[in-house]
Each structure stands twice: as structure tokens, then as C-alpha cells.
Amino acid sequence: MAATSFTGVPLSSSSSRPFCTLPLQLKDENYFSLRRMPILCSVVCQQKDSHNASVRALESSERCSKNSSKVGRRQIILRSSEISILAAIFHFSGTKPKYLGVQKNPPSLALCPATSNCITTAEELNDPSHYVPPWNYNPEDGRGRTKPASKEQAMSELLEVIQSTKPDNFTPHIVEKTGDYVHVEYESPILGFVDDVEFWFPPGNRSIVEYRSGSRLGNYDFDINRKRIKDLRLSLEKKGWQSVGY
């Protein structure tokens, strides 16, 4: 028997689909019978329907996933905006303290308030909650003996470390700088809390740097100020500096 092509073989009258497109080649009359063709077509079409349903379900899932991703990003943006608005309304940056800078009698940086969110080299040794030792940029057992740095070089090194170090992701902003004094505002990544950090090179040839780090708001800083000073000190040690107390 010559090869015969079948396309659009009719299904049973109860089928919801009037035709099933199934290209087949009949090479032998005993290989397929026409009575089996509707059954075969029905099975193949059901498989195709099942496959198409799976594809549609997958596409729907992908669309939902993309929409969820968009919603997630939108929520993040909205929440960030809400945080910014709250920070602007409630002024979480706080007010700059009036007592910052080098004090006159005696010459030193300011003392800390009674709160546990400030450290300074100006405090007494018997106040461990607020006192921290000063730095020496020409230690005797280091470059101070072989190749001491000038005050200008030390100031340049300090500024470089301040600008390149972001302890706890606080952003540094140098707001005042003179030949022997630097005031930096460190802004927190969330809500914009501001800490004031000062560095002072006392007059004389001692190669000492005094510093103070204090938060404008709150009563406890979770050791943020100590961590910041430690990170700065570790970076300065790579340049030859040393802490007097460590």
C-alpha cells in the first residue's frame, strides 16, 4: 500500500475538539487501522494539552516571581524613603555641641558628659569608661628613632586614614581643619545619627595626638566610639603610629 498522510483525523463526537492535527505515515495496512487513529490522536493531544498546561503554569509562576521581585524592591525603596523622612522630621543628626574644639584652661579637648557614649584623652586615668590614651606618631621604638615624621606629614597621614576608613559604615565628613586640629562628623548609615570626632596636635615636640569621639544623642553607644578609634588606630599603626597606652 502506498504511503498515506493523515492530518486532521476526526475524533469522536463527544470530544470537545473537532479535529486533532497528527501527521502520520501509513506504510502497511496491518500496522495501523483507521479505527485506532482517533484513540491515538486523543492520547497524543491529551499529552500535548498536559505539556501546554505545564508551560502555562511555569510562565505564570515566572510572572509572579518577577512581580514579587518588583514589589520587594518597591517596598525597600518606600521604607528607605520613610526612614529618610523620619530622620528629617525628628532631626536624628542632633545639634552640634557648643563645647567642641580646643579648650583654653588648660589647653585640651573637652571632657565627656556622664553618659556612656563618649571617650576622650582629656579624661583622668581613673575614669576607664571615658578615658582613652593618646597616640604617638613618632614612637621611640619605631620611626621616631630612625626617621621621625613632621607634624605636617602626620596630619596628612591622619587625614588619609580618616577619609579611607568607614568604621561600622559611618561616613566621615571633615567639617573643620586647621594646622593642629581636625573635626570630623561621622554619620550613621541608618537614620543619620552623627558622632563628633576631634583630633588635636598639642604644641611642642612630643609627637602626641589627642582625640575625642562622642555621640550627639542617646546615653549608650554600644561601643561604637571605641570601635571607631580602634579601627583608625590600627590603620595608623601601618604608617608607623602607636598608641601610648597599648
Q: How confident is the model at residue 13 (pLDDT cuts 50, 70, 90)?
A: very low
Q: What span, in angstroms and rounded, lies between the C-alpha atoms of 170 and 161?
A: 14
Confidence of residue 245 (pLDDT cuts 50, 70, 90): confident
Q: Does residue 168 lie within any of the structural domains?
A: yes
Residue 171 vs residue 28, higher pLDDT = 171
Residue 111, domain member (yes or no): no
If asked whether residues 32 and 125 sit together in one domain, one would say no
CA 151 – CA 201 distance, rounded (Å): 8
Does residue 49 register a pLDDT over 70? no
Reading the block at residue 83, the C-alpha cell is 526612614
Residue 132: Cβ-neighbour burial (10 angstroms; 0-12, 13-18, 19+): buried
Same domain, 131 and 237: yes
Q: In the block, which residue shows the cell 545619627? A: 193
For residues 151 and 225, state if they share a domain: yes
- Report the C-alpha gap between 170 and 193 in whole angstroms: 9
Backbone angles phi, psi at 25, to 5 degrees: -120, 120
H helices present in 22-150, as ranges? 37-90, 143-146
Residue 27 is assigned to a structural domain of this protein: yes
Grid coordinates given for 17: 475538539
Q: Which residues pair with 233 in a beta bridge?
A: none
Range of the domain at 14: 4-64
Considering the domain boundaries, does residue 75 fall inside one?
no
User: CATH code at 221?
Assistant: 3.30.310.80
Given 18, 42, 64, which residue is the final one in a domain?
Answer: 64
pTM for this predicted structure: 0.64
End-to-end CA distance of the chain: 102
- Give φ, ψ of 167 to 5 degrees: -60, 130
Last residue of a domain, one of 64, 81, 106: 64
Domain limit, last residue, from 27, 43, 64? 64
How confident is the model over 131-156, as pLDDT tens digits?
999 999 999 999 999 999 999 999 99
Confidence of residue 93 (pLDDT cuts 50, 70, 90): confident
Whole-number percent of the chain with pLDDT over 70: 62
pLDDT the model gives residue 38 = 43
Nearest to 113 by CA among 207, 220, 206, 16: 220
Distance CA 162, CA 101 (A): 18
**Digit-coded pLDDT (tens) for 195-228:** 999 999 999 989 999 999 999 998 999 999 999 9
Give the SS3 label for residue 105: coil
Structural domains in the chain (count): 2
Do 237 and 140 share a domain, yes or no? yes
Q: 131 and 222: one domain? A: yes
